[in-house]
Chain A
Amino acid sequence: MLTCKQFLEDLNEYLDDQLDPKLKQELQKHVNECPNCWVVCDTTEKTLKVYKGMEAKPLPADIHSRLMAALKKKMGDRCTGSPQQETGPQQSKGTS
């Protein structure tokens, strides 16, 4: 019989569906019979779901424009340098 502690130890693999079928079955049996572990399993799954659905906010305009300026500068350096070799010295970030 699986204990709750053992169930928790394998929870990741269970949620990520990376267990061999026999062990998976044992965990499934446990989760169906143990209300606590059912809740933990369900809420962990939901936790992962809300994070996966979280979209990154667009970059603040000033940060975006500074990034673009730094890139442009870098690309300019590369073009005016040797066009074939791209291992030029690392430029520090643009601080315009």
Chain B
Amino acid sequence: MSTSTIAPVFDEADLVAKAKAGDAAAFTELVSHYDRRVFRMAKQITQNDEDAEDVLQETFLKAYSHLDDFQGNSKFYTWIVRIAVNEALMKLRKRRSDRTVPLDDPIDTGEDVVAREIAVWEDNPEQRYSREEMGNILDEAVQSLKPAYRTVFILRDIEEMSIEETAQALNLSISAVKSRLLRARLQLRDKLTRQFKRKGDDALAYL
């Protein structure tokens, strides 16, 4: 009896090897595995459905065209994210006339690192909100960050890339990534604390 291949585990390396050898179905499987994450990231960066769809398509078409350039030095998804980020940033730059701040804006030189909202959270806020409500709260908070902070946070803390990978993808120094990440995390913490703080703790002074 031949080995059963029912419900195969997603094997990225194997699919990438097949795709590089010209197996279109393998590439399509890779796309299907990552498309929602790429779209989410594109939307978070561009803040726009249409641009996000463009980014989604351009990312995978480009990846397909340049598959031979992928040497396996990073994870395949990291490579995809890098393409997607570049595409998304290009979109963002094209729309500079709106309220977005340029990504290379020198915003974090010596700017204070502060935590404004000091309050403990209610237990398990995830359980108080529906999955959709929670998603909206988290999305909104990310959207409210400046683009320079937002992109760093998305790559590092949502896509779970390393500091080094994030720096590479955004063409930033390690120290710039670290400093933006700290501000992004603290600002998000402030925003979510306003939402999730335990009732009755408003006036509680810890000092």
Binding site for B on A (CB under 8 A): 5, 8-9, 11-12, 35-36, 39-40, 42-44, 46-48, 50-54, 56-59, 63-64, 66-68, 70-71, 74-75, 78-79, 83, 86-88, 90-91, 93-94
Contact = CB atoms under 8 A, between A and B. Distances in A.
A5 B65 contact: no
B165 to A, nearest CB: 14
A70 B178 CA distance: 38
Contacts of A39: 118-120, 206
Contact of A56 (B37, B61, B192): B37
Given A47-B192, A75-B24, A86-B68, A5 B113 contact: yes
A74 B57 CA distance: 11
B160 interface: yes
Interface residues of B, number: 51
A58 B126 CA distance: 20
A70 B61 contact: yes
A93 to B, nearest CB: 4
Contact of B186 (A44, A58, A70, A83): A44
B157 A56 contact: no
Nearest to B162: A16
